[in-house]
Structure 1
Amino acid sequence: MMKKLTVAAALFVALGTAAEEPLAITDFSVENIETLDAQGKVLATVPVSSLPDTDIPVIEKNEELDLIKIKNKQGEEVWLDAYFVKLNKGKVVDLPCYKMSETDGKDSRETGTMGFGGTCEDAN
């Protein structure tokens, strides 16, 4: 019984610290990336190799423009378009569920979600 409690407590602590992990860049999807100002205006195009190696901590995130601020190798703060980076925490996008069309009463109806996943089961 004590082992189960110890394992459960260790798992709870591990999940708790994983949830508190700061947002960071783990990879890039391009070889050259545009550095931007806070409004999203392009300042320069730089090679990804001029930025720090992976696991670059994100200083700030602009959700409205989908921009992230990091420090480059020179210690300067630069904004990047989040579209071109892979982050350690994924973004969740809620998609609408669409009802599958039925053509005739004789047709068999298969449950499907048009690729939007299991959360759309009630839409059919």
Structure 2
Amino acid sequence: MKVKIGKYPTWRWYHNYLHDWFDYAPTPKVKVKIHNYDTWSMDTTLAHIVIPMLKQLRDTKHGVPLVDDEDVGLFFEGNNEEKWEWIMSEMLFAFESKLNNWEDKYSSGEMDYDSIPVIGKDGTEIG
């Protein structure tokens, strides 16, 4: 995958007239090239892009959207800013779990199950 986003154009005084008359607004040039292997595991491919963007959004705090109670569950009480910080942390955890092996935190290397042999009607072990 290759993404190239050009500089945002400088807004000039005559752009106001062009926008009013012709609904014209200058936009940056965007070029995206997707390879076949980029879509094999798209969630992992996007995680490499989304994680730095979410971290920057969390750190710069441009504002807080309206968060309904049903978006965070009834157990969560707080203002919109606290709810949004919780949602951001959940999104970051989800995407970081795609890149890091999160299962390593919860495994000790030892299997914790018992295997009980199943005996068939003829007395032989099955499986």
- What is the TM-score with the length of structure 1 in the denominator? 0.27
Larger Rg: 2
Q: Which has the higher helix share?
A: 2
Q: Which has the higher strand share?
A: 1
- What is the TM-score with the length of structure 2 in the denominator? 0.27
